[in-house]
Structure 1
Amino acid sequence: MLSARQLFLQHQAQTTDFPLLLEVERAEGVFMYGPNGERYLDLISGIGVSNVGHRHPKVISAIQGQLDKYLHLMVYGEIVQTPPARLAHALAQTLPAGLDNVYFVSSGSEAIEGAMKLAKRFTGRTELIAFDKAYHGSTQGSLSLNGAESFKRSFRPLLPDVNHLEHNHLPDLEKITRRTAAVILETVQGEAGVRVPSKAYMQALRARCTKVGALLVLDEIQCGFGRTGTFWAFEQFGIVPDILTCAKGMGGGMPIGAFISRQEIMHSFKNDPMLGHITTFGGHPVSCAASLATLQIIQEEGLLEQVTAKAERFKQRLAHPAIKSIRNLGLMMAAEMESFEVLKKVIDTAILKGVLTDWFLFCDNSMRLAPPLTITFEEIDQACDILLEAIDEHCRF
């Protein structure tokens, strides 16, 4: 009998020549456990997914409860199902008036694809604007929005009429015109290494889109669902998008995404053509049950209230000459080091010592710190002790 590792290497498609190859038998809270008792403190939450920790009891209960009722019934939007209906209502309650129409999908990339189509259909325009070092997904459309040429040159030609602006650069906003269907922006840039725009910039962007009739699409696939200390990151900038995308942290570990807009905009999919956007598994009842439980956990357990203090604990504990700076909004953090070569050694050593972290696609000299929001101050201290040990092994001052 082949081992799981052998099966993984022989039959499961690989995307690098050096996968982590950690074998995980179970996970609970902020920890993952290997088959031989290895324990890893998870500082990346499955890249922003496990915001309420691994296997939160209320999420598991919600999943089990739905399993006893039904699984997939019909393609999106044809049959009334309680889990997506209740989740859509709960999401609308977290948002400003008007953002009350939710289209459920299965992933962040799919949410972006839907938002792109919706913007074009509603405005009748063709130009899409994104930003340098943006990351919005890996499908052909979402890849067209990505801002790193190295990540997409091998897949060209991609979508035409997609243009990129310099992030957080006010003069570039003049390039948004009456040709522009939508401006698509991560509220906090993730794979660029946690780049937070200024409030003045975000408000100027909102004003420019309103002036020329372009839709503002905010991508909160990584930074939504409490990651930054407010339920939605855009709450901290005093603006409201026309379309909002989310995924990752909304499912409690289950696959789900959504794009959210006003009914006036979303109704564009109802005609010319009818069924303007279709998904088979969007709004899957089990994923929606898990997502509703996740939303309720964040609210009822007060997870937002300690995000800022927990982020400050990381920043205080990781004060080290080898760490040049720590950028963050809440528990979406990037600790910048001298180079990828140094960072990679630190990460590999930390994993051997029981702490899992990594780097960013477009900022490979910065360490990703995005633990479950449920992490305790004691667990933060444990993680930082190990990270500092790893740093000291490879950085001499």
Structure 2
Amino acid sequence: MKEDFFTYQAQTTPHPLAMEISHAEGSYIYDSNNKAYLDFVAGVSACSLGHKHPRVVNAIKEQLDKYLHVMVYGEYVQKSAVDLTKLLASQLPDPLKKTYLTNSGTEAIEGAMKLAKRFTGRSEIIAAKRAYHGNTQGAMSIMGFEERKQAFRPLLPDVHFIGFNNEADLEKITTKTAAVILETIQGGAGFIVPDENYLRKVKFRCQTVGALLILDEIQPGFGRTGKLFGFQNYNVVPDIVVMGKGMGGGMPIGAFTASTEIMDVLHDQPKLGHITTFGGHPVIAAASLATLKEILDSDLMCQTLDKEELFRELLQHEYIEEIRGKGLMLSLIVKNADIANQIILGCLQEGLILFWLLFEPKAVRITPPLTISEEEIKQGCSIIMKVLRNIKD
């Protein structure tokens, strides 16, 4: 199977991990030799309830027995999608009420950018340096990392960048700006949290000049930071919120939500202002609805903060310079990239899955399922410490 993988399936890097997967359940992934790997990555923050969560699986099976795809997005009334968007509205602060369901986070970013331009009548988009919002051409245009996008230029014009947490840069947001788009917590840059009421200051500047604030919640969203959405930790309400990854319980989905006033500009002048064939797919929406209900019905969000403290308590070593992030969106910042590589690859050999971040070579990703137990955290951290003790700087 591995030979076929390299022969027929397009690769994203020269050296993928290429682990042959047999099955997965709970906090574990099993390879074709039935070796168990404790998963501290959760499909890059996507499997918020772990693998094969019964509530999600049952919701999928129930919808499979009713119908699959029946029509392009927005034409038919389909219960799972309506119930999902209604429940989301009940959990979001006013005026965030209308949700457009997409196939992925990056597609939701594209829709949010179009929505901001359409609503404001402006073209300028301001993003953050070292930002990551996806890999389609529009999302890549607002990626703040030239090395990753220079081979694909020309990209969207009229995109400018500011420093995350740099208050002085807010003057660059002007009456020409359609939207400022920021990750609530910068992911690829190393899980950098906003400080000194930064997001509130950005929102105030946007309100002053008539621009919209778009917050990318694709990673922190759906309970990972102790709140349903990361921005709820920072006393700010975006004009448009984008979500994805963890909202699907392991299924592919994204969404963007705005006020009725803003969202309604997409349905006329022109009609079909944003369209998708499979967005809001009934099976995917059922999985997402089950995921959201489980997160809301349980105490998983409260547990994330206790679990964060446990990680911080257990992971102390001279090579770990800092632990960034919030809740179960954490990164170890170590002395250099070589140590990061040794930790990730060494832990894989020991049966623990860790991963890299996009733009910070000294970072080690820790984004386990929200359902991970304290015993599993202790087990995984013990492996990390064992590997650290064997590293020669």
Aligned to 2:330: 333
Partner Cα separation in structure 2 for residue 229 and residue 261 of structure 1: 22
Aligned to 1:116: 113
Q: Cα deviation per residue 1:2-58 (whole Å; 9 max; x = unaligned)?
A: xx2111111000111110011111101110011212111110110010111111000
Aligned to 2:267: 270
Match 2:311 to one of 310, 314, 325 = 314
SS in 2 for 1:231: coil
Aligned to 1:382: 379
Q: Is the 8 A contact 1:23 1:34 kept in 2?
A: yes
Aligned to 1:9: 6
Partner Cα separation in structure 2 for residue 13 and residue 300 of structure 1: 40
Partner Cα separation in structure 2 for residue 276 and residue 250 of structure 1: 24
Q: Is the 8 A contact 2:185 2:325 kept in 1?
A: no
Aligned Cα root-mean-square deviation (Å): 0.8
Match 2:71 to one of 64, 67, 74 = 74
Q: Cα deviation per residue 1:240-260 (whole Å; 9 max; x = unaligned)?
A: 000000000000001010000
SS in 1 for 2:127: strand
Aligned to 2:174: 177
Aligned to 2:222: 225
Partner Cα separation in structure 1 for residue 301 and residue 355 of structure 2: 24
Q: Cα deviation per residue 1:321-351 (whole Å; 9 max; x = unaligned)?
A: 1111101211100101111112111211100
Runs of 4+ aligned residues of structure 1 deviating over 2 Å after TM superposition are: none
Partner Cα separation in structure 2 for residue 15 and residue 369 of structure 1: 21
1:228 partner letter: T
Match 1:91 to one of 85, 88, 91 = 88
SS in 2 for 1:325: strand
SS in 1 for 2:190: coil
Partner Cα separation in structure 2 for residue 5 and residue 131 of structure 1: 39
Q: Cα deviation per residue 1:209-260 (whole Å; 9 max; x = unaligned)?
A: 0111100000000110001110010011111000000000000001010000
Partner Cα separation in structure 2 for residue 335 and residue 196 of structure 1: 14
CA drift of 1:395 comes to 3.7
SS in 1 for 2:344: helix
SS in 1 for 2:296: helix
Is residue 190 of structure 2 the alignment partner of residue 193 of structure 1? yes
Aligned to 1:100: 97
Aligned to 1:152: 149
Aligned to 1:299: 296
2:5 partner letter: F
Partner Cα separation in structure 2 for residue 373 and residue 51 of structure 1: 5
Is residue 202 of structure 2 the alignment partner of residue 237 of structure 1? no
Match 1:65 to one of 49, 62, 79 = 62
In the alignment, structure 1 segments of 5+ residues that lack a partner are: none
CA drift of 1:199 comes to 4.5
Partner Cα separation in structure 2 for residue 233 and residue 342 of structure 1: 30
Is residue 371 of structure 2 the alignment partner of residue 393 of structure 1? no
Aligned to 1:346: 343
Question: TM-score when scaled to structure 1?
Answer: 0.98
Aligned to 2:40: 43
Gap change, CA 1:218 and 1:6, over 3 Å in 2: same
Match 1:363 to one of 337, 360, 363 = 360
Partner Cα separation in structure 1 for residue 148 and residue 254 of structure 2: 23
SS in 2 for 1:364: coil
Is residue 139 of structure 2 the alignment partner of residue 142 of structure 1? yes
2:27 partner letter: V
Partner Cα separation in structure 1 for residue 25 and residue 248 of structure 2: 16
Identity %: 50
Question: TM-score when scaled to structure 2?
Answer: 0.99
Aligned to 2:127: 130
SS in 1 for 2:325: strand
Aligned to 1:18: 15
In the alignment, structure 2 segments of 5+ residues that lack a partner are: none
Aligned to 2:247: 250
Partner Cα separation in structure 2 for residue 97 and residue 191 of structure 1: 29
CA drift of 1:203 comes to 1.1
Partner Cα separation in structure 1 for residue 72 and residue 281 of structure 2: 9
Partner Cα separation in structure 2 for residue 395 and residue 193 of structure 1: 24
Q: Is the 8 A contact 1:199 1:237 kept in 2?
A: no
Q: Is the 8 A contact 2:22 2:34 kept in 1?
A: no
